[in-house]
Amino acid sequence: MLVIKDVKMQFKKNDELVLKGINLRFPDKGLICIVGESGSGKSTLLNIIAGFIKPSYGQILYHNRDITKLKKWELNSYHQHVLGFIHQNYNNLNYLSVKENVCLKSKDRNIDAILEKLNILKNKKKKVNKLSGGEQQRVAIARTIVSNSEFILADEPTGSLDSKTGIKIMDILKKESENKLVIVITHNENHAEYYADRIITMQDGLITNDTDHLELESSNRTFKFNKKGIKPSKILNIVKNNLISKLKRNILTTIAFSVGLITLLLVLGISSGFNAAIDREEKASLSRYPLYISRNSRDIGKELKDIISPSKEDNNNQVNIVSNDYKNVIDKKYLKHIDQIKDNTTSIEYTYTINGIYARVFENNDSFYENVELIKGNKITNKSEVLIMIDNHNAINEAFINYLKLDKKSISYDKLIGKSFKIKKTKYTIVGIVKGREDSFYTEVSGTLFTSDNFKDLIPTEIYLYPKDYENKEIIKKHLDSYESVSYTDYATTFKDMSKTIMQAITVVLIAFSSISLFVSTIMIAIITYISVMERIRDIGILKSLGFKNRDIKCIFYLENIFIAILSTIASIAITYAISIPINNVLEHYTGMSNILLLTLNNSKYILYLSIVISLIGSFMPIRKIKKYNIIDTLRYE
């Protein structure tokens, strides 16, 4: 039972009352017509019963529940499951088809019979904005009928229809009234006389006549609201159709949004590609660089990191005393430990300092000569022969020249070749001069080279371990790590870490610059979303009147922007991949490194997540206004 108790309505303070104390009782079924001149308060009363506006005073009781005091979710349920409202001016969603509009708040069941009765079956798949006014009104009526609401309110349902179709509409409403309450506002007195079970006449906000003013018995039924909400499929369908309806705008938005993402992708791609190139270089070339062990060792990697990223710890009240030098205990035991990994190396070189001579012992094999260039003389053939190694500046240590008692101002290769000297009573002869090749570790090495048969009774000051390949290098490092009291330096890893640290610093700077374009994208999303909300204020009111919650409507807008963000990400990845081909060709030509611009899955995921976050941030402020819109104002919005 629907009961109206002493309802009064005043829109603004000091204005005249629109409704001046309305008291009505309606049965659970039957067709009731409310008639009266324009301005008599008919539509206002209907909107109050519908819960679109609250009365200034009084109650609207539906089975003993006052709908003016319902919670938000209860009012949504009331609009979705209880009330069927036929609006005077259609109120359809223009970007949906006839079928989609009809089934907005109901199951997608077979609606052909209703559409046939309303003579719009042939337009079932058409967008409603392609229909005439009368046809659009019939779509709105069909939506109300198929929703299976508990009662129907109709505001001039036949006002824009021809007389023949109007009669069909009234026939359908009359049929519906056999099982539910149908309240119709109409100016057509003939319809009221012929179809109504009861006619209520209003004038100046008062009931002036009621043809069947019966005292109905009070109902003991207490109404419970259905918590079931709108199906996600309905929301997704609205999102899809609206995106398609504004296809050109959305394509332009996608392109504009993707520009900022492309900038960031390029930065991340170059960073990833450079790091990958360094890793490849380490495995292919740098792995041949030695692991270095010294009695007086220094952690070169730590020093380089401190230079690039100095410690933030600071104290003005004290002096911090640190030392990068420490002693490695290299003894016979440790040399045996080293000897266990001999099979994983191409060579193990030992360095001794004897009488001021920097003596380096090496494996006299083909692997060594592949990394050096014989400048003058011959290779070593016996243990009494030595080589002089000069660095890339053709330089050698001054101490050795002093030991040979040669003129330091001018030393030709010929003066060195054949020169003899003694170390611990053993005579040695210089037979050749070598220099490290450009792509080898020896480019920076100089000194006197002895074969491995020499100085076996001495403890070296330095040890150089040359791995066979990257895998063997990892085995060697694991073996060295097991001997915790002695540290070592990995030249390749140190170089790699330093390069990556520098690249990370450059990447941070570039990301900071590219974030400007992302900030602009965020503002662009906010503006476009605001325009979209303002364009669809009436649509928001329609959805609210059909029982869509604020969060359902917000979800529609958020999903639209998320979809654009996903499309922008896909577009930016595709464009970046396309331009990466010529960029990589140019970079490889000038640097010799391949695939420096590398698109990785992780970077693509990062860009996707970032684009979604940006779209949500940009959408937040415009979309949050949706909850402030009330139904009646949005439905009247032009």
Parse the chain into domains and list their residue ranges. 2-228, 243-281+498-635, 329-486
Q: Which pLDDT value is given to residue 285?
A: 61
**Arithmetic mean of pLDDT over the chain:** 86
pLDDT digits (tens, 9 = 90+) for 477-492: 899 989 888 888 887 7
Which ranges of 112-246 does DSSP label H, i.e. alpha helix?
112-117, 133-146, 163-176, 189-195, 232-245
Residue 247 pLDDT grade (very low, low, confident, very high; cuts 50, 70, 90):
very high
pLDDT at 162 over 50: yes
Q: Which pLDDT value is given to residue 313?
A: 52
Token pair of 121 as six digits = 């079956």
Q: Which pLDDT value is given to residue 549?
A: 92
Which backbone phi and psi does 51 adopt, to 5 degrees?
85, 15
- Distance in angstroms between the alpha carbons of the first and the last residue of the chain: 36
pLDDT digits (tens, 9 = 90+) for 31-63: 999 999 988 999 999 999 999 999 999 999 998
pLDDT at 143 over 50: yes
The CA dihedral of 183, 203, 3, 105, to the nearest 10 degrees, is: 40
Token pair of 301 as six digits = 């990697």
Number of CB atoms found within 10 A of residue 477's CB: 17
Place of tokens 């009359």: 174
* Higher per-residue confidence, 179 vs 405: 179
Token pair of 415 as six digits = 């003066």
Phi-psi label, residue 516: left if phi above 0, alpha if psi -120 to 50, beta otherwise? alpha
Q: Which pLDDT value is given to residue 308?
A: 46
CA-CA distance, 544 to 565, in Å (whole number)? Answer: 27
Cβ contact 493:301 at 8 Å: yes
Phi-psi label, residue 341: left if phi above 0, alpha if psi -120 to 50, beta otherwise? alpha
pLDDT at 234 over 80: yes
Residues 6+ positions from 328 with CB-CB distance below 8 Å: 293, 294, 295, 296, 297, 485, 486, 487
Cβ contact 571:255 at 8 Å: yes
Q: Which of 81, 72, 215, 246 is nearest to 148 (CA)?
A: 81
- β-sheet bridge partners, residue 59: 5
Token pair of 364 as six digits = 């006299």
pLDDT at 8 over 50: yes
Q: Is 289 helix (H, G, I), strand (E, B) or coil?
A: coil
Look up residue 80 and give its DSSP letter: I
Range in 17-21, 245-249, 357-361, 618-622 the model is least confident about: 357-361
DSSP string, 390-424: E-TTS---HHHHHHHT--SS---HHHHTT-EEEET
- Which of 261-270, 347-356, 565-574 holds the top average pLDDT? 565-574
CATH architecture assigned to 2-228: 3-Layer(aba) Sandwich (3.40)
Residues 6+ positions from 493 with CB-CB distance below 8 Å: 282, 301
pLDDT digits (tens, 9 = 90+) for 340-382: 998 888 888 899 888 778 888 988 888 888 888 999 999 999 9
Q: Which pLDDT value is given to residue 321?
A: 47
Residues 218-225 have a mean pLDDT of 68
* Higher per-residue confidence, 265 vs 216: 265
* Higher per-residue confidence, 173 vs 214: 173
Q: Which pLDDT value is given to residue 139?
A: 92
Residues 6+ positions from 431 with CB-CB distance below 8 Å: 377, 378, 379, 380, 381, 385, 386, 387, 417, 418
